[in-house]
Structure 1
Amino acid sequence: MKRLRLFLLLAAFGAGLFQLHAATSLWRVSSGETSLYLGGTFHLLRASDFPLPEAFDAAYADSTTVVFETDLGAMQSPQVQQRMLAQCALGGGETLRALLSPEVYAKLEAHCQKAGLALAAMEGFKPALVVITLAVVELQKVGIAEEGVDMHYYNRAQADGKAVRGLETPQEQIDFICSMGEGDEDAFVLHAIRDLEESVQHLPELITAWRRGDLETLEREFVSEMKRDFPRLYRSLLVERNRAWLPKIEALLETAETELVLVGGAHLPGEDGLLAQLQARGYRVEQFDIAAAPAP
């Protein structure tokens, strides 16, 4: 696993190696007498990846509110979907073929054909939407379902009548999605399609690292190479969004309630990650180990 798992990060918008571990990608953040749970997630999983680590269920049961990156229900609505398609459309008669170099376009076309996608039908859209579509199709071929950790707990919260909130609005997420790769389209597309086959091959290892809360592996595979090879994407995908979320997470720590905050796993590790940033602000951050937690 030597290249950035950009392919998996894109599918997040958006494991066979199932093992039980007490510690997982879940942390307890405390300030005095108040606390919340902060969990890193995989947005898309296979049926074999369930049940999820027991610690997530324990944190969910202990929380009155579940906070996601955005309003997941709204993101699935036809109105928001249409808004995203409109915003991700190329304007002024521009086409994908004209935007990309002939070499990169040919490689993208070949991958789309292999996946059973008609690139001609997506000529009027920005590269980000095309690559996301390709990534989702390829993941579905290896049994990845649309329900990952986030949607699993969103559906449970809806059924249980728990309050749900978002760290950013659907429009903010649309703005981010549609702007990915702008100004660096060839490199963005080329890296994504080169990463495709290797990402699928090593998916079980990546999910195992997530299940274990292995920050070193998650940082190496999802953060370090993005920071080096795609500094603008790194800033927009992780740094800027993390900075925007921090005050909202801090506000949650001022309430008497306990919240479960779920964000993509790439937002947690590294010096710009939420865990390090919260520690730097003086909060106590501990990996939640259900085996070591006191009995209720």
Structure 2
Amino acid sequence: MIARLITAATLIFCPLSTLNAACEGRDLRPLLSAAEQAELQAFHHSTPYPSGNHWLAEKDQHQISVIGTVHLGDARLGPVFDRLSPVLAAADRIYLEMTPKEQAQLQRALSERPELVFLTQGPTLIDLLDPEEWDQLSKAAQARNIPSFMAAKFQPWYLSVLLSVPPCVLSAMGEGRGLDHLIMGYAAKNGVPLQALEPYDTIFSLFSSEPIDTQIAMMRAGLLSDQDSADGLVTLLNSYFDQSHAASWYLAKLHAKRVSALSKREIEEAFDKLQATLLRQRNLAWMPHIIDTTSTDTIVVAVGAAHLHGSDGVLAQLKSAGYRLSRQEF
């Protein structure tokens, strides 16, 4: 069981397995109300660099190809990867959120450092949640083959990550590879150096440092039924291949407002905190590594597509640093 959860965690923070036929979700975009459509369009138009999964940033003789990735395997990635291969071949170095080295470190740490994911002191989630909430969470965990006694001991943020993935995806672990993993394989085969943008435990440190009440609020916002979770995942993937990464992020919030028992204000607060922790803080921490690559003229930065958009996104930060940006074929 522990080994399976370690594998699941590595796949969640690294490339996830293929969304197979068992995940029969719906694309939620055609089902939006007129008001939701207007809200989504307003967000899109007010957000810097809301779309495009492949950009070229140029400054003097320095070239940075920025590729927005998806951590899920999908058959549609094959043609995408073929089109991106010449870009990878021309790179002196490829920067990723995590390389195979960090993946191995993460797997080892998850088995050796229980404090990364478990509540090692104080009350468990059984004590921290209302009985009705715990019953819902416990059933969701069991659907993913996580025993209730173990789920009760997880840090809330970590359990919310595990529960965000539909059971149909976890049951298909290993069947496919996300774009990050395809890029790693290409680099290993062709001798292109890889470098991680952050230590393997960055996300764990950021989220575990949050107060338990904040973690529980984020967990409540993301606790969906299996069908709602599958719908969200299908919508995410379709939005990704439409290169609409800003809309994809905002759609997740709209979806939560539709199906969550929390108030709209609570959803907004939870997503604001998630954006600050998962995206903004990491984006800003990455930029010195990306910009100060003076030893190589041509690099690739391949990170989750959600990191590209927004005033604190990778693209806007490069623009602020004096780079010229042009959208490329994807």
Q: TM-score if structure 1 supplies the norm length?
A: 0.79
User: Aligned partner of 1:40: which letter?
Assistant: G
Q: Distance in 2 between matches of 1:209 and 1:273?
A: 18
- Map Cα deviations across residues 118-137 of structure 1 (whole Å, 9 max, x no partner): 22123222122223233346
User: Aligned partner of 1:269: which letter?
Assistant: H
User: Aligned partner of 1:65: which letter?
Assistant: R
Aligned to 1:128: 157
- Find 1:159's aligned residue among 186, 189, 203: 189
1:82 pairs with 2:111: yes
Counterpart mapping for 1:172-211 below 5 A:
172-179=202-209, 182-194=212-224, 197-211=227-241
Counterpart mapping for 1:189-268 below 5 A:
189-194=219-224, 197-221=227-251, 229-252=270-293, 254-268=294-308
Deviates more, 1:226-235 or 1:124-133: 226-235
| Gap regions ≥5 residues in structure 1 | 1-9, 18-22, 291-296
- Map Cα deviations across residues 88-112 of structure 1 (whole Å, 9 max, x no partner): 2212253121233333212101222
Contact 1:100 1:185 in 2 (8 A): no
Counterpart mapping for 1:55-74 below 5 A:
55-74=83-102
Deviation at residue 169 of structure 1 after TM alignment: 0.9
Q: Do the aligned partners of residues 216 and 188 (structure 1) sit closer, same or farther apart at CA in structure 2, a change above 3 Å counting?
A: closer
Q: Do the aligned partners of residues 219 and 106 (structure 1) sit closer, same or farther apart at CA in structure 2, a change above 3 Å counting?
A: closer
Q: Distance in 1 between matches of 2:128 and 2:252?
A: 27
- Percent of pairs identical after alignment? 22
Contact 1:13 1:132 in 2 (8 A): no
Q: Distance in 1 between matches of 2:138 and 2:116?
A: 23
User: Aligned partner of 1:32: which letter?
Assistant: D
Deviates more, 1:225-234 or 1:26-35: 225-234
SS in structure 2 of the partner of residue 35 of structure 1: strand
Contact 1:12 1:42 in 2 (8 A): no
Q: Do the aligned partners of residues 73 and 216 (structure 1) sit closer, same or farther apart at CA in structure 2, a change above 3 Å counting?
A: same
Aligned to 1:38: 66
After superposition, the CA RMSD in angstroms is 3.1
Deviation at residue 258 of structure 1 after TM alignment: 1.3
Q: Do the aligned partners of residues 83 and 132 (structure 1) sit closer, same or farther apart at CA in structure 2, a change above 3 Å counting?
A: farther
Aligned to 2:45: none
Aligned to 2:260: none
Aligned to 2:43: none
- Find 1:91's aligned residue among 120, 126, 132: 120
Deviates more, 1:95-104 or 1:242-251: 95-104
Q: Do the aligned partners of residues 116 and 125 (structure 1) sit closer, same or farther apart at CA in structure 2, a change above 3 Å counting?
A: closer
Q: Distance in 2 between matches of 1:34 and 1:87?
A: 38
Aligned to 2:319: 279
Q: Distance in 1 between matches of 2:212 and 2:280?
A: 17
Contact 2:69 2:303 in 1 (8 A): yes
| Gap regions ≥5 residues in structure 2 | 1-9, 27-50, 257-266
Q: TM-score if structure 2 supplies the norm length?
A: 0.71
Aligned to 2:13: 13
Number of aligned positions between the proteins: 274
Contact 1:71 1:169 in 2 (8 A): no
Q: Distance in 2 between matches of 1:229 and 1:200?
A: 21
Deviation at residue 223 of structure 1 after TM alignment: 7.7
Q: Distance in 2 between matches of 1:99 and 1:108?
A: 12
Deviation at residue 249 of structure 1 after TM alignment: 1.1
- Map Cα deviations across residues 37-87 of structure 1 (whole Å, 9 max, x no partner): 1111111223x2330514322321221211111334332344233245432
